[in-house]
Amino acid sequence: MDNIAPNEIELATVTSRSDLKQFVDFQYKLYRDNPYYVPPLRNDEIQTFSPSHNPAYEHCEAKLFLAKKAGEVVGRIAGIINHQENNGAENRAARFGWVDFIDDYFVSKKLFDAVEGWARERGCLELKGPYGFSNMDKAGLLIEGFEELATMAVIYNFPYYSKHIERLGFEKLVDWKEFEATVPKEIPARVIKFAEMIKERYGVKEFHPRNKAELNEMGFKIFDLINLTYQDLEGFIPHSNKQIALFVKKYISLINPDFISVILNEADELVGFGITMPSFSKALQKSKGRLFPFGIFHLRKAMKKNDRADLYLIAVRPDYQSKGITALIFSKIIETCIRYGIKKAETNPELESNQDVQNLWRGYEMRLHKRRRCYIKKI
């Protein structure tokens, strides 16, 4: 629905901390009454756009825009150029992300026109998204599954977003699928038998961190393996050492070690891992994006008692990818879910073309319940 006349829309760039607060706060206002939206932590959002906190700014530049009517924010968008991604690329690309707007075409057009103009001025020939600065940021516009609870790792948006973006000339680049798995009451005998055979045949073993120090040390190796195994995936850009240090501090140190499956070879080299976490979706909804005073209580409660889990990351070193390492990873994940009373587990987005990953779930009770899309446009 187009209710606002184009000349009533004011475009503003984010230049101050108060502007950034408006940029971050808009999503909470827009989705205030939506039961499926999971709010991110406000402080995390603020720090994402702070060069002193986000090392991605060492190889990225960003511009944030707000659309306003009579001084009230009605839309927002971030333009991002990752120079590491464009290094040697024929078609220099800019990214858009953190895009939200009311259901008014002139608002969305104003926002995208601003980002396209900014990107063209910097020599970019394409605009794609939604993407963030790195692979650890949320990506992909939700196009199916609007009545499914989001997870803290993905974008939730209203159904009208895709209609606006396609009307503006964007086309599909890639789609991702998301599945909900039913956790079996016991580890399938075939999985146990196969896992033991793999251990014996290839001399691999499970590693169980004994303390936070060991967990953090393994965290650096995990992100090194992510850089190696994800390098050919659309939208992936290798993480720098400073980014990895931030991710380890921000994510790995908070994970219950029981929910990490780590596989080493005989030389104690990391050859595969899987990271699962109890779902924080409902806890974040209760916290309304704030850790204090009560948000931290809801998150801690979710870590201790939960019937849902999110399967965040899985990777196997290329030279071990046809050796059944995933059987060991899944055996540990299932065992942990059963022990903690997890009934349902949700996968992170998987590229629709990545059949190898989707084959991992073969034999389990799965439900395809969400789909999301990255768009691209020549500018």
| pLDDT at 237 > cutoff 80 | yes
Residues 118 and 238 in one domain: no
Residues 292 and 237 in one domain: yes
Q: Do residues 376 and 125 lie in contact, with contact meaning Cβ atoms separated by under 8 Å? A: no
Residues 300 and 270 in one domain: yes
State pLDDT tens for residues 79-104: 999 999 987 666 799 999 999 999 99
Residues 214 and 158 in one domain: no
Structural domains in the chain (count) = 2
Question: Which of 1-15, 123-137, 324-338, 358-372 has the highest average model confidence (pLDDT)?
Answer: 123-137
Residues 159 and 96 in one domain: yes
| pLDDT at position 2 | 63
| pLDDT at 234 > cutoff 90 | no
CATH number at residue 102: 3.40.630.30
| 39 exposure class (CB count in 10 Å sphere: 0-12, 13-18, 19+) | buried
| 212 exposure class (CB count in 10 Å sphere: 0-12, 13-18, 19+) | exposed
Band (pLDDT 50/70/90 cuts) for residue 150 is: very high
| pLDDT at position 121 | 97
State pLDDT tens for residues 14-44: 999 999 999 999 999 999 999 999 999 999 9
Q: CA-based angle 272:226:145, to the nearest 5?
A: 95
Does residue 357 sit within a domain? no
State pLDDT tens for residues 284-338: 999 998 988 888 999 999 989 999 999 999 999 999 998 999 889 988 999 999 9
Helix (H/G/I), strand (E/B), else coil: 91: coil
Residues 163 and 247 in one domain: no
Does residue 62 sit within a domain? yes
Does residue 227 sit within a domain? yes
Burial 159-187 (b: 16+ CB within 10 A, else e): eebbebbeebebeebbbbbbbbbebeeeb
Residues 267 and 166 in one domain: no
State pLDDT tens for residues 187-229: 888 888 999 999 999 999 999 988 888 888 999 999 999 999 9
| pLDDT at position 1 | 61
Residues 202 and 324 in one domain: yes
Residues 50 and 138 in one domain: yes
Does residue 59 sit within a domain? yes
- For residues 108-114, average pLDDT: 98
Q: How far is CA 120 from CA 94, 298, 374, in A?
A: 9, 45, 20
Does residue 281 sit within a domain? yes
Residues 71 and 169 in one domain: yes
Predicted TM-score of the model (pTM): 0.93
What is the extent of the structural domain holding 111?
Answer: 6-177
Does residue 364 sit within a domain? no
